């Protein structure tokens, strides 16, 4: 079991960075932090391989923490219909 700290990106909605609480952000590469923006601490939590997480398998997070010192959770892909909401609608006069 590890205690991990979770940070959210101020630049990209639904992007999170998981790190070992004891190491904090020390193993996160500088270019990643520049892209991520100033990390905003969300919470600390104990993490075991059998713990359920919303969008990622806890085993993948633990593997990332062990190998790289962090795990970057990317935002979920946008649904196709959401991508089309901003396109003009044909000749209805509605935008």
pLDDT value, residue 58: 93
Domain layout of the chain by residue ranges: 2-83
**Sequence-ordered list of residues with C-beta below 8 angstroms from that of 59, at least 6 positions apart, any chain:** 49
Whether the Cβ atoms of residue 51 and residue 58 lie closer than 8 Å to each other: yes
User: Which of 77, 76, 70 lies closest to 33 in space, CA to CA?
Assistant: 70
Cα separation, 11 vs 9, in Å, equals 5
d(CA 95, CA 88): 5
Global pTM? 0.79
The confidence score (pLDDT) of residue 22 equals: 96
The pLDDT of residue 45 is 96
Fold of 2-83: NE1680-like fold (3.10.510)
10-residue mean pLDDT series, the chain (95 residues)? 96 95 97 96 94 90 96 82 56 54
């Amino acid at each position: 079991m590890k205690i991990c700290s979770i940070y959210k990106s101020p630049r990209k909605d639904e992007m999170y960075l998981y790190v070992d609480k004891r190491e904090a952000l020390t193993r996160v590469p500088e270019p990643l932090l520049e892209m991520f923006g100033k990390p905003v601490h969300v919470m600390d939590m104990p993490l075991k391989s059998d713990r359920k997480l919303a969008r990622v398998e806890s085993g993948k997070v633990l593997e990332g923490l062990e190998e790289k010192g962090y795990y970057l959770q990317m935002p979920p892909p946008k649904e196709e219909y959401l991508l089309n909401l901003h396109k003009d609608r044909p000749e209805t006069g509605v935008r």
